[in-house]
Amino acid sequence: MSDQTPTEPFDQSQVSRGDTVEIEGDSLFMHHTVTAAPRQKPLRVDKFLANLLPFVTRSKIKNAALVGSIYVNGLVVKASYKVKPDDVVGLLLPYPPSEESQPEPMDLDIRYEDEALIIVHKSAPMVCHPGVSNRTGTLIQGLQWHVEKSLPIGTNDHTRPGLVHRLDKNTTGLMVIAKTEYAMSHLAQQFFHRTTGRSYNAIVWGDVPEDQGTIGGYIGRNAKNRKTYSIYEDESKGKRAVTHYEVIERFGVATLVKLKLETGRTHQIRVHMKHIGHTLIGDPEYGGDTYPGGPPTKNFRQFVKNCTAIMPRQALHARELSFDHPMTKKRMTFTSDLPEDFLLLLEKLRRLAH
């Protein structure tokens, strides 16, 4: 019997060549590809990878095989597959938890927890993980402290919660965090293949003309401002991005929309809504701190200022999250209420509309 499992062809263009790290949008993955030598002797693929990628632990390779994240010539294979000459072997891994970040006590809004994962509601302006300008106070550091304090005294457990996706600093809403290597591998594979379900609510400037629609294009860094992104028609300038939207409520000067991601690129919703002329309210990086219409009156300018005072961040909230549980394989769905600043802004817009 063949060790190859029938599946959709794996897109080799999405795999980094060599032992490089690629962070794809709001999801975190490591991609490795290795091409077997022309005189390669038959060897189990898990041993083949362990020999050529010594920086990847055997447990990570084992978990990758269990969740279907090892590919040969574009097809998913089992750990027992025998590598042959000139085979192209691909390995998908979740981005590893930071070894440098230190646990910090903080109040976290945890909505669900079991032995494999945590569902947390991220507030604004919390950053997901440490960076050059954010060494402390990040979500992952708070989660490290939460996990470690729950362990029995004297336990020598080096479990570190791991991110498999992220939200922008000023975006609120639901996130799933893995507590084990196996859960990280399983969840990363779901995010990579877009089998998770994620929907967002956003409040945008202007009256969105269509009740529903789809926005596409290729998202890449803005040539003039490298901190922001733009839509390009040329695929060589960015990565394919697709967002589906549906109007929930209209206020004349603004619209409440529901958005679903078909892909997960950095700033995807913010860039797509700006692209169709409806910037998220309060989003300073994409012009959401001003009204995009014609010259407003003095009173309306003050109204806009009052709105952005209520919402001094992008009006974006990760409302719903669904995925298959790594252990039970059952579908789980979580929904989050809109945060207070969202509700206050909606109340103000409704008063104006009526």
CATH number reported for the structural domain that contains residue 223 in this entry: 3.30.2350.10
The verdict on 204 and 274 lying in the same domain is yes
Q: Which of 76, 72, 74 is nearest to 85 (CA)?
A: 72
Question: Cis (ω within 30 of 0) for the bond into 125?
Answer: yes
Task: Classify residue 99: in a domain, yes or no.
Answer: no
Length of the chain: 354
Parent domain of 138: 109-193
Three-state SS string over 59-97 comes to: HHHHHHHHCCCEEECCEEECCCCEECCCCEEEEEEECCC
The verdict on 173 and 205 lying in the same domain is no
> Active site includes 168?
yes
Q: Residue 16: what pLDDT?
A: 36
The verdict on 263 and 346 lying in the same domain is yes
Q: Of the residues 159, 193, 227, which one is the last residue of a structural domain?
A: 193
Task: Classify residue 77: in a domain, yes or no.
Answer: yes
Total count of domains within the chain: 3
Task: Classify residue 326: in a domain, yes or no.
Answer: no
How far is 206 from 255, CA to CA, in rounded Å? 6
Q: Residue 117: what pLDDT?
A: 95
Task: Classify residue 215: in a domain, yes or no.
Answer: yes
Task: Classify residue 102: in a domain, yes or no.
Answer: no
SS3 content of the chain, % helix, strand, coil (to 5): 25, 30, 45
pLDDT tens, position by position, 268-320: 999 999 999 999 999 999 999 999 877 778 889 999 999 999 999 999 999 99
b/e code 307-332 from CB counts within 10 Å (16+ = b): bbebbebbbbbbbbbbbbbbeeeeee
Number of neighbours of residue 211 by Cβ within 10 angstroms: 10
Residue linked to tokens 């597959």: 81
The verdict on 117 and 18 lying in the same domain is no
The verdict on 46 and 174 lying in the same domain is no
Three-state SS string over 138-180 comes to: CHHHHHHHHHHHCCCCCCCCCCCCEECECCCCCCEEEEEEECC
Q: Which of 34, 66, 284, 46 is nearest to 170 (CA)?
A: 284
The verdict on 59 and 181 lying in the same domain is no
Task: Classify residue 329: in a domain, yes or no.
Answer: no
Coil, strand, or helix at residue 184? helix
The verdict on 169 and 217 lying in the same domain is no
Q: Residue 201: what pLDDT?
A: 98
The verdict on 293 and 149 lying in the same domain is no
Q: Which residues pair with 323 in a beta bridge?
A: 332
The verdict on 115 and 216 lying in the same domain is no
User: For the chain, which residues score pLDDT lower than 70?
Assistant: 1-30, 96-100, 132, 150-160
Which of 26, 46, 87, 168 is catalytic? The answer is 168
How far is 128 from 291, CA to CA, in rounded Å? 30
The verdict on 58 and 137 lying in the same domain is no
How far is 175 from 206, CA to CA, in rounded Å? 29
Q: Of the residues 193, 218, 239, which one is the last residue of a structural domain?
A: 193
Task: Classify residue 101: in a domain, yes or no.
Answer: no
Given a contact cutoff of 8 angstroms between Cβ atoms, the answer to whether 91 and 49 are in contact is yes
The verdict on 310 and 216 lying in the same domain is yes
Q: Which of 316, 275, 309, 317 is nearest to 292 (CA)?
A: 275
CATH number reported for the structural domain that contains residue 68 in this entry: 3.10.290.10
Query: Measured on CA atoms in the order 76, 78, 84, 86, is the torsion positive or negative?
Result: positive
Residue linked to tokens 């490795």: 32
The verdict on 157 and 280 lying in the same domain is no
Q: Of the residues 193, 215, 232, which one is the last residue of a structural domain?
A: 193
